[in-house]
């Protein structure tokens, strides 16, 4: 069809839109009709031919003939474009031009705007005019203008974007990004592509980029690595992945903090905190905090492994700390304690200390008698003094968590202790200062508990770093944090990250499927609402849950739309054998105006793949479609056909990607 070929030229669409617009003097546009403008265009064209051919017969001078022909042809062209716009509009309702961008082309097109703006896609600002057009399409007589094919790859209703021919590039101001962004969309509708589009620009801009991916998607890691290599930032890349311990970078979630109590918060917050569990959670916090204070006082870096070891063996930590403190006050303390232990009888041992080593009991008595205790020793002695059976009960929820975090090869990554390990290690302070690019794959599908604990600790660590940047006034570097499937990781740590980290130049972009997932994870609709209130930009792709769609709709105003009703009446005059008429009839189109929502939930639930509604800059609504990806990563392990590889080969591809990202040669040797 000719119209299909013409619509493939964007410049022709823009030209037609600009010069083929109708005068806005009617309440209804009436674009769902045949292109009747072509009739007048044909007549005007014939009139121009007649003027040119029979100028002499029409008594036109040469100058008048040129003027008449020119004016008639211009009017004919205007009417032709108006008719063509009608055809383009109806064609757009069913078929949209193909939109694909490689990362190189994306940057080339928007290079000059990157410092100030973030590109999200092509589209248009949604106004009451588009609500009016959408309402007209709901008329049963206009069903023929809608796409009815069920095998369309993108699915959904293309008319949601097709009701506007004139597309523009849509951007978010960088100043708006620090107020944080939320992408909503069900599975396989384009969230990952949106994530890649944002990452491409952030890496090109030279910002610090942090990507937290619960699933550990290899394609996402490939995109991060490819973009870093493309702009010459491959040395800035750090890749952490719980599923590939041999080649992953290492990170201590509790090793970097501003206040010692943060360590206990990061661990205790992973435990249930409702009902009867609250008391056990408080005990877990206290014991963890006591052990952390002792480790720091001894000059050791807290790790999950150290804390797990000393939770069950606090007497050993007590002895080590006492050795450090008492050696300065009484060099002969150990001899005295051994003498006390030798003279200690079973009757002198308190019931709660039964079964514990005598030398540790003697140590506690020696410290109490000589008043050598400080706050750390008092905390350790208090913990040591618990009855073992009772102590095991109140730590019953803490020990299984620490056991999971310190089992298998995972402990090598999140409790690093060997400074000579060939795998690189990182902390968020150095990452931000050096503007590095960090990919975090948490492998949540294999072990959700460990993934949630590490992810939440990372968020808490980032909040601490943000607070430090505030105090130091060091907010020069922008931090672009992308949290994919953030409902899997969200906890109480995420709320202050949104509330307070914006001023520290943290730009959080969160991606999730439904808002109900967030409320369910937090076990509180109030907290979910608190998070939603701190996400100023919302980009909603297709959602299948009505409550999620309504969360967006509630933010939008109502607008007036016009409805047309055909009214026909016939009235009998009641006058027999009247000379004028026996009845009177009338036909009219009655127009009524009513207030309707700017968008409905159905609009969000019928979006094709790769399309979205964006609420930006204080609630302005834009209809956007994301660019489709181009196959441009063939030179990385796995090539462009990674999805066609057998499962047995995908692990080796993932390992090769991690090794390349962390600049490692073979497992066991650094590059």
Among 145-149, 387-391, 594-598, 657-661, the range scoring the smallest mean pLDDT is 145-149
Question: Helix-strand-coil percent breakdown of the chain, rounded to 5?
Answer: 50, 15, 35
d(CA 173, CA 177): 7
For residue 345, is pLDDT > 90?
no
pLDDT band at 667 (very low <50, low <70, confident <90, very high): very low
d(CA 568, CA 580): 21
* Sign of the C-alpha dihedral computed for residues 21, 24, 25 and 30 taken in this order: positive
Considering the domain architecture, whether residues 75 and 146 belong to the same structural domain is answered as: no
Tally of domains within the chain:
3
CA 207 to chain centre: 17
Q: What is the pLDDT of residues 258-285, one digit of tens each?
A: 899 999 999 998 888 777 788 889 999 9
Give the number of other CB atoms < 10 A from CB of residue 416.
Answer: 19
Considering the domain architecture, whether residues 179 and 54 belong to the same structural domain is answered as: no
- Structural domain includes residue 337: yes
pLDDT given at position 495? 82
State the average pLDDT over residues 20-40: 84
pLDDT band at 140 (very low <50, low <70, confident <90, very high): confident
Q: What is the pLDDT of residues 380-415, one digit of tens each?
A: 999 999 988 889 888 888 988 899 899 888 899 999
For residue 670, is pLDDT > 60?
no
Q: What is the pLDDT of residues 210-222, one digit of tens each?
A: 999 998 888 899 9
- Structural domain includes residue 548: yes
pLDDT band at 24 (very low <50, low <70, confident <90, very high): low
pLDDT band at 92 (very low <50, low <70, confident <90, very high): confident
pLDDT given at position 537? 95
Considering the domain architecture, whether residues 176 and 44 belong to the same structural domain is answered as: no
- Angle value at C-alpha 615, between 109 and 94, nearest 5 degrees: 70
- Structural domain includes residue 636: no
DSSP assignment of 120-179: EEEEEE--HHHHHHHHHHTSGGGGGGS---S--SS-S-THHHHT----EEEEEEHHHHTT
pLDDT given at position 671? 45
Considering the domain architecture, whether residues 603 and 462 belong to the same structural domain is answered as: yes
User: 666: exposed, middle or buried (C-beta count within 10 Å: 0-12, 13-18, 19+)?
Assistant: exposed
pLDDT band at 666 (very low <50, low <70, confident <90, very high): very low
pLDDT given at position 474? 78
Considering the domain architecture, whether residues 142 and 70 belong to the same structural domain is answered as: no
**What one-character DSSP code corresponds to residue 61?**
-
Q: What is the pLDDT of residues 512-555, one digit of tens each?
A: 999 888 888 888 888 888 888 889 999 999 999 998 999 899 98
- Grouping H, G, I as helix, E, B as strand and the rest as coil, residue 213 is strand
d(CA 514, CA 185): 7
User: 346: exposed, middle or buried (C-beta count within 10 Å: 0-12, 13-18, 19+)?
Assistant: exposed
pLDDT given at position 321? 94
Phi-psi region of 121 (alpha: psi -120 to 50; beta: other; left: phi over 0): left
Considering the domain architecture, whether residues 75 and 222 belong to the same structural domain is answered as: no
The residues, ordered by sequence, that sit 6+ positions from 203 with a Cβ below 8 Å of its Cβ are 209, 224, 227, 228, 231, 233, 437
- Structural domain includes residue 584: no
**287: closest CA among 407, 381, 372?**
381
Q: What is the pLDDT of residues 557-572, one digit of tens each?
A: 999 998 888 788 877 7
- Grouping H, G, I as helix, E, B as strand and the rest as coil, residue 265 is helix
Q: What is the pLDDT of residues 184-207, one digit of tens each?
A: 999 889 999 999 999 999 999 999
Backbone angles phi, psi at 240, to 5 degrees: -115, 125
- Structural domain includes residue 17: yes
Considering the domain architecture, whether residues 621 and 498 belong to the same structural domain is answered as: yes
d(CA 429, CA 433): 6
pLDDT given at position 579? 61
Task: State the residue range of the domain holding 366.
Answer: 261-405
pLDDT given at position 542? 96
pLDDT band at 150 (very low <50, low <70, confident <90, very high): low
Q: What is the CATH number of the domain that holds 610?
A: 3.40.50.300
H or E element that contains 95: none
pLDDT given at position 373? 85
**287: closest CA among 301, 308, 271?**
308
Per DSSP, what are the bridge partners of residue 537? 181
Considering the domain architecture, whether residues 229 and 282 belong to the same structural domain is answered as: no
Q: What is the pTM of this model?
A: 0.89
Per DSSP, what are the bridge partners of residue 250? 425
Considering the domain architecture, whether residues 118 and 235 belong to the same structural domain is answered as: yes
State the average pLDDT over residues 370-386: 91
For residue 638, is pLDDT > 80?
no
**224: closest CA among 207, 243, 210?**
210
Q: Which of 92, 125, 145 is the last residue of a domain?
A: 92
Q: Report the length, in residues, of the chain.
A: 671
Q: What is the pLDDT of residues 639-656, one digit of tens each?
A: 666 656 666 677 888 899
**258: closest CA among 414, 417, 471?**
471
pLDDT given at position 439? 97
Among 5-14, 184-193, 486-495, 554-563, the range scoring the smallest mean pLDDT is 5-14
State the average pLDDT over residues 216-230: 92
Give the number of other CB atoms < 10 A from CB of residue 556.
Answer: 16
Considering the domain architecture, whether residues 474 and 609 belong to the same structural domain is answered as: yes
Q: What is the pLDDT of residues 232-241, one digit of tens each?
A: 999 999 999 9
pLDDT given at position 149? 67
The residues, ordered by sequence, that sit 6+ positions from 421 with a Cβ below 8 Å of its Cβ are 250, 412
pLDDT given at position 617? 83
Is 364 in contact with 382 (CB distance < 8 Å)?
no
What is the pLDDT of the chain when averaged over all its residues? 88
Out of 9-18, 178-187, 325-334, give the one with best mean pLDDT: 178-187
- Structural domain includes residue 567: no
pLDDT band at 349 (very low <50, low <70, confident <90, very high): confident
3-state secondary structure 431-489: HHHCCCEEEEECCCCCCHHHHHHHHHHHHHHHHHHHHHHHHHCCCCCCEEEEECCHHHC
Q: Are strands 537-540 and 181-184 parallel, antiparallel or unpaired?
A: parallel
- Structural domain includes residue 652: no
Q: What percent of the chain has pLDDT over 70?
A: 94
For residue 669, is pLDDT > 60?
no
- Structural domain includes residue 10: yes
Considering the domain architecture, whether residues 621 and 479 belong to the same structural domain is answered as: yes
Is 535 in contact with 494 (CB distance < 8 Å)?
no
pLDDT band at 660 (very low <50, low <70, confident <90, very high): very high
Considering the domain architecture, whether residues 115 and 221 belong to the same structural domain is answered as: yes
């Amino acid at each position: 069809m000719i119209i299909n070929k013409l619509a493939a030229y964007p410049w022709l669409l823009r030209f037609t839109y600009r010069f083929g617009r109708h005068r806005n003097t009617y309440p209804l546009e009436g674009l769902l009709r045949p292109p009747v403008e072509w009739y007048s265009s044909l007549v005007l064209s014939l009139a121009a031919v007649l003027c040119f051919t029979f100028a002499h017969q029409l008594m036109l001078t040469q100058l008048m003939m040129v003027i008449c022909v020119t004016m008639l042809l211009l009017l004919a062209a205007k009417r032709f474009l108006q008719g063509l716009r009608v055809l383009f509009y109806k064609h757009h309702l069913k078929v949209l031009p193909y939109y694909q961008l490689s990362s190189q082309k994306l940057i080339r097109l928007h290079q000059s705007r990157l410092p100030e703006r973030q590109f999200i896609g092509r589209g248009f600002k949604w106004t009451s005019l588009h609500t009016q057009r959408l309402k007209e399409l709901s008329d049963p007589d206009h069903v023929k203008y809608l796409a009815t094919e069920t095998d369309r790859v993108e699915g959904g209703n293309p008319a949601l974007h097709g009701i506007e021919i004139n597309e523009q590039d849509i951007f978010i101001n960088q100043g708006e990004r620090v107020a944080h962004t939320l992408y909503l969309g069900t599975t396989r509708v384009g969230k990952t592509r949106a994530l890649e589009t944002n990452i491409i620009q952030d890496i090109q801009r030279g910002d610090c980029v942090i990507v937290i991916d619960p699933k550990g998607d290899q394609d996402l890691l490939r995109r991060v690595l490819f973009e870093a290599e493309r702009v010459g930032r491959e040395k800035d890349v750090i890749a952490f992945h719980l599923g590939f311990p041999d080649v992953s970078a290492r990170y201590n979630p509790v090793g970097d903090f501003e206040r010692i109590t943060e360590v206990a918060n990061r661990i205790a917050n992973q435990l249930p905190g409702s009902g009867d569990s609250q008391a056990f959670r408080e005990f877990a916090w206290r014991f963890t905090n006591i052990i952390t204070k002792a480790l720091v006082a001894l000059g050791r870096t807290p790790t999950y492994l150290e804390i797990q070891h000393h939770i069950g063996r606090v007497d050993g930590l007590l002895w080590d700390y006492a050795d450090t403190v008492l050696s300065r006050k009484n060099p002969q303390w150990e001899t005295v304690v051994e003498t006390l232990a030798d003279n200690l009888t079973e009757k002198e041992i308190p019931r709660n200390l039964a079964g514990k080593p005598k030398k540790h009991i003697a140590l506690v008595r020696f410290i109490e008698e000589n008043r050598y205790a400080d706050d750390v020793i008092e905390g350790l002695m208090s913990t040591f003094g618990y009855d073992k059976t009772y102590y095991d009960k109140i730590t019953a929820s803490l020990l299984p968590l620490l056991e999971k975090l310190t089992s298998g090869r995972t402990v090598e990554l999140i409790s690093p202790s060997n400074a000579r390990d060939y795998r690189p290690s990182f902390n968020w302070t150095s990452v931000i200062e050096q503007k590095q690019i960090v990919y975090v794959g948490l492998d949540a599908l294999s072990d959700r508990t460990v993934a949630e604990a590490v992810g939440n600790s990372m968020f808490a660590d980032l909040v601490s770093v943000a607070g430090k940047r505030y105090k130091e006034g060091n907010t020069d570097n922008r931090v672009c944090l992308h949290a994919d499937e953030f409902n899997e990781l969200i906890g109480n740590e995420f709320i202050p990250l949104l509330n307070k980290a914006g001023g520290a130049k943290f730009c959080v972009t969160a991606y999730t499927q439904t808002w109900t997932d967030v409320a369910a994870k937090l076990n509180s609709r109030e907290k979910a609402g608190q998070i939603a209130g701190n996400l100023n930009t919302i980009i909603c792709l297709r959602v299948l849950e009505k409550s999620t769609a309504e969360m967006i709709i509630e933010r939008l105003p109502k607008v007036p739309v016009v409805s047309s009703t055909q009214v026909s009446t016939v009235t009998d005059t009641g006058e027999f054998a009247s000379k004028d008429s026996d009845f009177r009839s009338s036909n009219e189109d009655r127009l009524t105006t009513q207030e309707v929502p700017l968008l409905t939930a159905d609009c969000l639930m019928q979006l094709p793949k790769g399309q979205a509604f964006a609420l930006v800059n204080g609630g302005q609504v834009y209809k956007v479609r994301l660019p489709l990806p181009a196959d441009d990563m063939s030179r990385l392990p796995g090539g462009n056909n990674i999805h066609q590889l057998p499962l047995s080969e995908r692990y080796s591809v993932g390992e090769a990607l991690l090794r390349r990202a962390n600049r490692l040669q073979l497992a066991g040797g650094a590059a």
